Amino acid sequence: MPAEKLRRLQLLRLQRQLAYVYACSSFYRRKFDAAGVNPATIRHLEDLVAFPFTTKDELRESQNEAPPLGLHQAAPTRDIIRVHSSSGTTGRPSYVGITRHDRDGWIQSVGRVYWSQGVRPDSVVVMGFGMSFFVGGLPLHDAIEEIGATFIPVGTGASDRLLSAIRDTGANMITCTPSYATYLAEYARDRMSIEPRTLGITRIQSGAEPGGGVPAIRRRIEEDWDCTVTEGIGNADLIPVYGAECDEKAGMHFVAPDLMVLELIDPDNGEPIPFTEGASGELVATHLDRECVPLVRFRTRDHVVVWTDPCPCGRTGVRLRCVGRTDDMLILRGVNVFPSAIKDVVMGMRPRTTGEVQVVLDQPGPRVEPPLKIRVEHGSDAGNLAELKREIEATLRDKLIFSAAVELVPMGALPRYEMKARLLHKTYEG
């Protein structure tokens, strides 16, 4: 769709969506009135900046006040066909309801994502996300089935069963977190005496956490499985997946501009940042066509870099790379440090390390006094451990510009995860 035609569509849908939430959501009616804004004043997409942000904490408070879906529920309960839950990795789980219309929008967005990642009617896709409350389960199934591909709903919790399903069904694709793709390769070798490269997987669609687009992490997974790894981005409160890489691996294409409008802001002060080539900041999203629990200017806490030039694949529009979550970001004497960037450095030192890492926090962030404590698993070919420790600390200092205190631990000492990896170990939480 031409850019100007898309902007007209977005404006029309934004005007309609804001009027709808004001009329049907007591949560937003109260927020808009308190901020002194009225949906009727929207004349341009840029006018959206006058409206207040929505935060995850506000959604939790809303659901505490009016369980289960909160005061921001805008559709009547009789129209709700399904309720999902967030994973709860950054706090208590929250609930998300959808109508049939909302489900159709999800299928459109997630279907576009998987098509860009190479899923076709002759694909056989094994599900490596949980087939439960999690929005990475049934909604992904709906979209893959709509494409016409064969879907194998194994899910998490039984890695031996998942690997057996790949072998027995001739599956050629896995959709899972990057940390689970790494764990699954280790599990295949160590517990089932299977070399993952021999299983015939051609593609892994990774998501739900940063990592699939981090060069060293991607390289390890591709070497383990002898396949192509592409990354996706989504959000339980917005759309399960709304962006994904194509085979060019030049950033994740935002595939749902008809369903959501995006903004970029400075996470510290909330000021808007223009969508220009190479700009970075926190991603903010507003639904354009949502019935059940529509959100306006929702702060995703995803810190992204954006590209606006055409992709070599021919697609136009915005592309994204998630470098981490702003609520995971640490600040060491003015330097912003993301745990995923630390893992990238450590992963790049394989096989002397296993690539597994854990950042230890003795007090709440984001501001941390150096040196930052980091546990790193050494590999079987680590050599002199004292030298390896010094080399890791020096590399982190040179590449990420902060001082680290590295503790080397044996192979297998750090936890593995089937869902989202937890790179931060907060000792102050007990």
pLDDT 10s digits, 195-241? 999 999 999 999 988 788 888 889 999 999 999 999 999 999 999 99
| Whole-prediction pTM | 0.85
Pick the most confident of 70-74, 89-93, 132-136. Answer: 70-74
Domain spans, the chain: 330-429
**Tokens standing for 43?**
């004349």
Q: Which long-range contacts (CB under 8 A, 24 or more apart) does 26-31 make?
A: 26/71, 27/62, 27/70, 27/71, 27/72, 28/72, 28/296, 30/71
Average per-residue pLDDT in the chain? 93
pLDDT at residue 91 tops 60: no
CATH 3.30.300.30 assigned to 330-429: yes
Give residue 430's pLDDT: 64
Give residue 134's pLDDT: 80
Other Cβ atoms within 10 Å of 427 Cβ, number: 10
Mean pLDDT across the stretch 406-423?
A: 87
pLDDT in tens, 231-284: 999 999 999 999 999 999 999 999 999 999 999 999 989 999 999 999 999 999
Give residue 30's pLDDT: 97
Give residue 92's pLDDT: 66
Pairing, β 173-176 against β 203-206: parallel
pLDDT in tens, 343-370: 989 999 999 999 999 999 998 888 898 9
